[in-house]
Amino acid sequence: MQMKLKKKVIQLLRGDEMNNLEFNDDKFNYIADIEIEYKTLPGLTKEVIEEISDVKNEPEWMKELRIKSLKIFQTWHDPRFGVDISELDLNKIIPYIKPKAKKTATWEEVPEEIKNAFDKLGIPEAERKYFAGVGAQFDSEIVYQNIKTELQKLGIIFLDMETAVKEYPDLVKEYFMKLVPPHDHKFAALHGAIWSGGTFLYVPKGVKVPLPLQAYFLMSNPGMSQLEHTIIVADEGSEVTFIEGCSAPRYNVINLHTGMVEIYVKKDAKVKYMTIQNWSKNTYNLNTKRAIIEENGVMSWVSGSLGSMKTMLYPMTILKGKGAKSESLGITYAGPGQHMDTGSKVVHLAPYTSSTIDARSISVGGGWAFYRGLLRIGKDAEKSKSHVQCSALMLDNKSKSDTVPIIEVYNSNSDIGHEARIGRIKDDQIFYLMSRGLTEAEAKSLIVKGFIEPIVKSLPFEYAVELNRLIEMEIESSIG
């Protein structure tokens, strides 16, 4: 009997059943019918850039930055690595869409259709139960931003970026696109030209925020771009956790997400930044995230890249101060039609700095997961330590997985380790679990959950409700 069962299992694994995996993301495919107050024409011109700045009533320095960024964008070449963007026609992308909804700090004042969209994603529930403050962006504008009163009294600034530009112009100007300047790469310049929305967070010296802050971004219109800008400044000795979530319904035309995150971790400060990317399968996700860490500061990145048609995302950490530390934990999921080019960059500039990178990917149904990483140990970064681990799991014969881990060491007094593993689910593993009463789908699900468990368990549950929920949905819908 067991031999017959094993034979049947192997036939299933090698036959069409293994490749005909169904995907069901209807829960995150809600389309909100929201009236548009204002939108620009598609394409990128100086007139469109000035139009966006005028609609936002921005100071002159920001308009000048936008125009300068546009000029840089027009001279830059496309990326020479990563995903194929030849089908991305920016002349057909709408740079700016403003929904007919006033900005508010009261959830009840948010228009009903927008509330329904965010209710479906669990945002109000998350705010009530787990978070110290929440910002919600719909298309190109923040529609809701709130922080607990007791945290405001501590001097924490938690505002949408447009309000921060007007109320704290000197503070914003000090940090805005200083870590990632417009000339960094083509899509940084694009971001500088047409950015809209995002969050400005400043945590004063010595303040430890007891609960996470969250921002959630939702694209609801076809053919649009969303380019939110987030700045986090953790002053000396402060601590904060920030969670970012992203989602969009699926359309038959291309959407573009080109957000930017700049994080400044001062001496002895700690920042944990968790990203949950669940863009729809018609979205190009070309994102830039960067942090700079001063003496004894700690930066933790936790990312789940589960959506989009094509993604290029490589959070970068610059360990500038002595004893600075960083940790990068990432889960990438590539299903049918998806090419996920993700990774981490860490640059050690000071002595006694340390970093760890744990990147895991799952590919299924012809998906392509590509890890692209950079670890650079500078000549002055003596006594530094770093460990890089890349693990990939392929669930069928159609899917692909690659790793390009670049390691550059410029001193002989540092401790560096690297390991990489790529493999498929083994027939014997499925057979063993099915012989214990599990279905084929349940067996695959159990193996995949075990594969990602070392990263998921590192997150306090209440801080990672969104990440756990999305991973559960993607894995279970993909394999069963």
Tens of pLDDT, residue by residue over 234-258, are 999 999 999 887 776 666 678 899 9
In this structure, is residue 349 part of a structural domain?
no
**Boundary residue ending a domain (271, 287, 313):** 313
Q: How far apart are CA 343 and CA 303, in angstroms?
A: 10
pLDDT at 467: 55
pLDDT at 218: 77
447 and 306 share one domain: no
Domain that holds residue 442: 1-30+425-480
In this structure, is residue 1 part of a structural domain?
yes
pLDDT at 471: 56
Averaged confidence pLDDT in the chain: 83
283 and 216 share one domain: yes
187 and 269 share one domain: yes
Residues 6+ positions from 146 with CB-CB distance below 8 Å: 105, 106, 107, 127, 133, 134, 135
60 and 191 share one domain: yes
144 and 289 share one domain: yes
pLDDT at 292: 98
pLDDT at 251: 67
9 and 105 share one domain: no
294 and 443 share one domain: no
pLDDT at 429: 80
Q: Residue 171, class by beta-carbon neighbours within 10 Å (0-12 exposed, 13-18 middle, 19+ buried)? A: middle
Q: Residue 120, class by beta-carbon neighbours within 10 Å (0-12 exposed, 13-18 middle, 19+ buried)? A: middle
In this structure, is residue 259 part of a structural domain?
yes
43 and 59 share one domain: yes
Residues of the chain with pLDDT under 70: 1-34, 103, 105, 107-108, 113, 115, 117, 119-134, 136, 138, 144, 147-148, 248-252, 458-480
pLDDT at 18: 32
53 and 10 share one domain: no
21 and 64 share one domain: no
Number of domains into which the chain is organized: 2
pLDDT at 262: 98
pLDDT at 274: 87
In this structure, is residue 363 part of a structural domain?
no
217 and 306 share one domain: yes
